[in-house]
Every structure is written in C-alpha cells, then in structure tokens.
Amino acid sequence: MKIKLSDKEFLELKSIIYKHSGIQAHENQRENLEHKLSSRLLKHQLSSFREYHKILLLNKSEIQAMINAVTTNETYFFREKKHFNYLQNEIIPKIKYETFRCWSAAGSNGSEAYSIAMLLKANLNAYKNFEIVTSDINDNVLKFAKNGIYPMKFAKNIPLNFLKTFCQKGKNEYKGSFKIDQKLQKSISFKHINLMKPIPKDIGKFDLIFLRNMIIYFEDKEKKIIVENVLKQLKDDGYLFMGHSESLHRITDKVQQISPSIYKKKIKKELSYSPKKYLAKTSQKIIAIGSSMGGLGVLKEVIPKLSPSIPPILIVQHLSRNTLSTLLPKLSEGIEINLKIATDDEILEQGTVYFAPHDKHLKIKNISQGVYKTKISDEDKVANHKPSINVLFNSFAEEVKSHSFAFLLSGMGNDGVEGIANIKKVNGKTYAQDEKSSDVFGMSQVAINMGVIDNIIPADKLAESINSIW
C-alpha cells in the first residue's frame, strides 16, 4: 500500500530538504516526493512519514540518504555538445598555463568530468597538464563516478576514437559495461560539496567551471547563493558554462555572456584604475625565495606558519612538473594564505605566495610605487636551470631594489648567488639558511662565503623571519 504524505508531514520534510540542500519542494511535487522517499520508509520498516521525520531529527546519516533520494542526477557523456566544441576550438588553443584547472561543480555520475578529461587529454600539448575536480551533494553518485564503470548505453555519445582510447570494454561479470581508463581517472578528484554552503578553500581557483542543468531546480534566491559561491572559485577572465535552458539574468553581474550559455568572469574594475587603489592589498616590500635540493621540505614546514599579512612572496623551487602540480593543493589545506603557480602579468597581492611555473622563468616588474606584476619568460635555461633563481633575484635587484627581501635555502650549486649579491648591492635584505639545518649546504654556503648575506638563519626560524616583514 502506498504511503501518503499528510499536509503537516509534507511541510516538515520540505523544511528539512530545504535546510540541507536549498531545494524547494512545491505542492505539485508532493506525489513525486512520496515516490522518491518510499524506499527509505521501506528500509526502516516504517508505516508513516511522521515516523521518518523523527528518524531524520535523530540520525544525521539518514539526512544524507534522504538528499541522495530526492536529488536529480540525469546526465550523460558529452551532453550539450556545443560546450565541448567551444572548449576544443576556443579555449584549449589559448591555454597558456602550465596546469589548466576545471571544476564540474554539479558532477552527478561523473560523465561530465570524464568527457572534459577526454577532450583535454586528446587536445592539450604534452607539456601542459590539467586538473579536474568533480563534486556533488549526492554521495551515492560520487561513489559511482569514482568507480568509473558505466552501462554500455552510456557509450553512445562518446566519440569512437575516445571510446577506443579512454574506455575498456567489460568482460565476465562486467559484460555489458565499460570502464574509464585508470590514468584518466587519476586526473580527476571527487569531492562531496553542497553548493549552497561556502566552498572549501582547499579546492582552489579554476580556469573553467561547468555548472550545468543544476540551478533550474532552485528559486532565484538560492540560485544567487549558488552562483555567488561558485564564482568565488573562478579566476578572473575564467569561463563558466551553464545549461542551455538556464539564464544568469538578474542572478549575477559578475560575468559577461560571450555565447549562448557560456560566460566569462569579469576582471575586477579596479585593475584598470590608478595603482593607488592597490596599496591596501600590496606592499612596497616584496619577498623572493630561491630553493633547490632539500629546500622543499623546509618550505613545507614554513608555509603553513605564514601570516596572511605577509608581503607577496615569489618562489623559485627546482621541481619536476608533476611535483609542483600536486604540491600546491596539499600545501593549501587549512592555511590562511593563498598559494598559486604564477601566471603572466598578474598584480601581486599581500598574503599570496607565487611559485614559478615548471620550465618557465619568473620575474617581477615594478609598474608603480608599491605595485608589482609578475612576468613569465620562456627564455633559455640559465646555468642549466629553468626556472632560475638568478633570473628571479636579478629582476628583484632591478625592479624592487632596496625593498627586496631575498632568502636562499638549501640546494646544490650556485644558482641564486649572483642574484642575491646584486640585491645586496642595491641595499636589499639578504638571508641564507644555515649549514646545520640544510640538507645540502651549497648555494647558501657560496653566498655566505662571498659576504653578501645579512642574516644566517636556521630553518625553524624562517617563518618567524618572514612574518616580521610587513
């Protein structure tokens, strides 16, 4: 016998659903809600929704089970093909970053994230990486997505060359299904996120966000909250893809529509104003750090201890491409400062650490009093290094001069020695890691012996020294 929702029970469940998901259940959806939640009553052997309401008040895990039951998760591979054509033809050819980051924000069963991954893997140059995060409020579909095994009917919209390259046909107990290639799966992170709540900081910023066919289930008030939360994670000038039946009219003024259902985040207007407007966020004092073998361990200890009021920090760390791309998300967890791989021509901000991208030189450019920009250079290696500490330090000597604070950490050879000597010549402050705390006492030793170091400090005092510069 079908169990019906009374008026009171409907209002009680409607309130809980809204509180935990932002979804408004309307009167014309009552019968559908009865149907979706009937399995939960059956599981708990209940005879009324009033009894189920009591369980929800006492059992938090049941609230998630309820959310799983009531949310809609209908999607498929390469849905709304025009978006993928735009990604392939308009965005991918213009990618300048070492690592292109994309978020499938309402990821459902993962088919959207895997579609993006296939397209990026097939079209990005070998020297460019990508990272994809897919999220959903429904943890059942997240588990399904992470497993990466789909019924064969899902394959019909996957291009044949992608199907052959990135999918494996199931055998034996998996007959009638296919599995996503394991290497492709590793490029995707799966996260349980409620877009009605503030987005976890450790998710980072993205160049492209898919938020498709999700806000149609919400009222305007909730749409604004969701879009506002999501846009905080989109880089300036980054792309936002919405569903073709969705509109952001009167929802946000922070994006500009450039094609049907495709938007770009507006660059903050203050970027075109007088540099004086930046003085509250920037500092005349700028910090440069050069690190090589053994220095990474020091940075891992130092960065979590840094204050959000520190001046901008530019770092050259001799690392492999993969190490750098996996390092920053881990280091970003639970800290107050911002970490990022530097891109060209961005204004430096207080409380932010900029790492030189792999196989590119990082420099600094003074554009006005107290306002500096990054400059990314693809020039040849310097003393077999790219990025080179000397290139960074020499740009500080030329552009920042006496407002420079340069730190030379553990490492082999002499990269950075010439640059830190030039910073010393223009009355900048110079620091070197001491021998006892250095895994490799090379670069620091040469600089100390040259007499160009003002302060020799142990690794455990480095964060304290940096935090005192403001």
Residues 116-175 have pLDDT tens digits of 999 999 998 765 789 999 999 999 999 999 999 999 999 999 999 999 999 999 999 899
pLDDT at residue number 268: 63
Q: How many domains, in total, are found in the chain?
A: 3
222 and 324, same domain (yes or no): no
* CATH label of the domain that carries residue 286: 3.40.50.180
338 and 451, same domain (yes or no): yes
Domain boundary among 219, 236, 267: 267
As a whole number, mean pLDDT of residues 251-270 equals: 85
pLDDT at residue number 322: 63
Question: Average pLDDT, whole number, for the chain?
Answer: 90
Alpha-carbon distance of 202 to 304, in angstroms, equals 13
Q: What is the pLDDT of residues 348-366, one digit of tens each?
A: 988 899 999 888 999 999 9
* CATH label of the domain that carries residue 50: 1.10.155.10
Q: Which secondary structure element, helix H or strand E, spans residue 167, and what is its range?
A: strand 167-169
pLDDT at residue number 271: 38
281 and 259, same domain (yes or no): no
54 and 97, same domain (yes or no): no
Q: Is 317 helix (H, G, I), strand (E, B) or coil?
A: strand
Residue 190 domain flag: yes
For 126, 349, 367, 388, the CA distances from 376, given in Å and listed in that order, are 19, 17, 15, 12
Alpha-carbon distance of 406 to 469, in angstroms, equals 11
Can you name the residues that pair with 99 across neighbouring β-strands?
129
Burial of residue 181 (number of CB atoms within 10 Å: 0-12, 13-18, 19+): middle
pLDDT at 259 exceeding the cut of 50: yes
Residue 2 domain flag: no
pLDDT at residue number 273: 34
Residue 41 domain flag: yes
294 and 248, same domain (yes or no): no
Alpha-carbon distance of 174 to 216, in angstroms, equals 35
Tokens of 431: 């620091």
Q: What is the pLDDT of residues 87-103, one digit of tens each?
A: 999 999 988 766 899 99
Q: What is the pLDDT of residues 9-58, one digit of tens each?
A: 999 999 999 999 998 888 888 999 999 999 999 999 999 999 999 999 99
Q: Tokens 């070998």 correspond to what residue?
A: 126
Alpha-carbon distance of 361 to 376, in angstroms, equals 6
281 and 428, same domain (yes or no): yes
62 and 93, same domain (yes or no): no
* CATH label of the domain that carries residue 215: 3.40.50.150
CA atoms within 13 A on the CB side of 81: 3
Residue 1 domain flag: no
Domain boundary among 70, 90, 116: 70
Pure H helices in 366-442: 389-399, 417-425
Residue 247 domain flag: yes
As a whole number, mean pLDDT of residues 253-272 equals: 80
Pure H helices in 368-461: 389-399, 417-425, 443-450
Percent of the chain with pLDDT over 90: 71
Domain boundary among 220, 245, 267: 267
Helices vs strands, H then E, count in the chain? 16, 19
Residue 96 domain flag: yes
pLDDT at residue number 457: 96
Length of the chain: 470
Please give the model's pTM, rounded to 2 decimal places: 0.58
174 and 294, same domain (yes or no): no
pLDDT at residue number 358: 85
As a whole number, mean pLDDT of residues 323-328 equals: 72
Closest by CA to 339, choosing from 325, 324, 326, 329, is: 329
261 and 330, same domain (yes or no): no
pLDDT at residue number 118: 97
pLDDT at residue number 328: 77
158 and 242, same domain (yes or no): yes
Q: Is 261 helix (H, G, I), strand (E, B) or coil?
A: coil
Can you name the residues that pair with 376 across neighbouring β-strands?
362
Alpha-carbon distance of 406 to 396, in angstroms, equals 9
Q: Which secondary structure element, helix H or strand E, spans residue 16, and what is its range?
A: helix 7-21
Structural domain span for residue 14: 7-70
Residue 435 domain flag: yes
348 and 228, same domain (yes or no): no
Q: Tokens 């992170």 correspond to what residue?
A: 189
260 and 282, same domain (yes or no): no
Alpha-carbon distance of 424 to 299, in angstroms, equals 23
pLDDT at 280 exceeding the cut of 60: no
Query: CB 30: neighbour CB atoms within 10 A?
Result: 17
Residue 75 domain flag: no
Residues 175, 210: contact at Cβ < 8 Å?
no
pLDDT at residue number 277: 40
Residues 261, 243: contact at Cβ < 8 Å?
yes
Q: What is the pLDDT of residues 135-149, one digit of tens each?
A: 999 999 999 999 999
Alpha-carbon distance of 419 to 390, in angstroms, equals 5
pLDDT at residue number 283: 55
As a whole number, mean pLDDT of residues 276-297 equals: 75
Pure H helices in 191-347: 220-231, 295-302, 321-332
Q: What is the pLDDT of residues 182-240, one digit of tens each?
A: 999 999 999 999 999 999 988 999 999 999 999 988 989 999 999 999 999 999 989 99
Alpha-carbon distance of 192 to 137, in angstroms, equals 6
pLDDT category, 333, cuts 50, 70, 90? Answer: confident
Angle between helices 7-21 and 60-70 (to 10 degrees): 90
Tokens of 357: 């991208």
pLDDT category, 463, cuts 50, 70, 90? Answer: very high
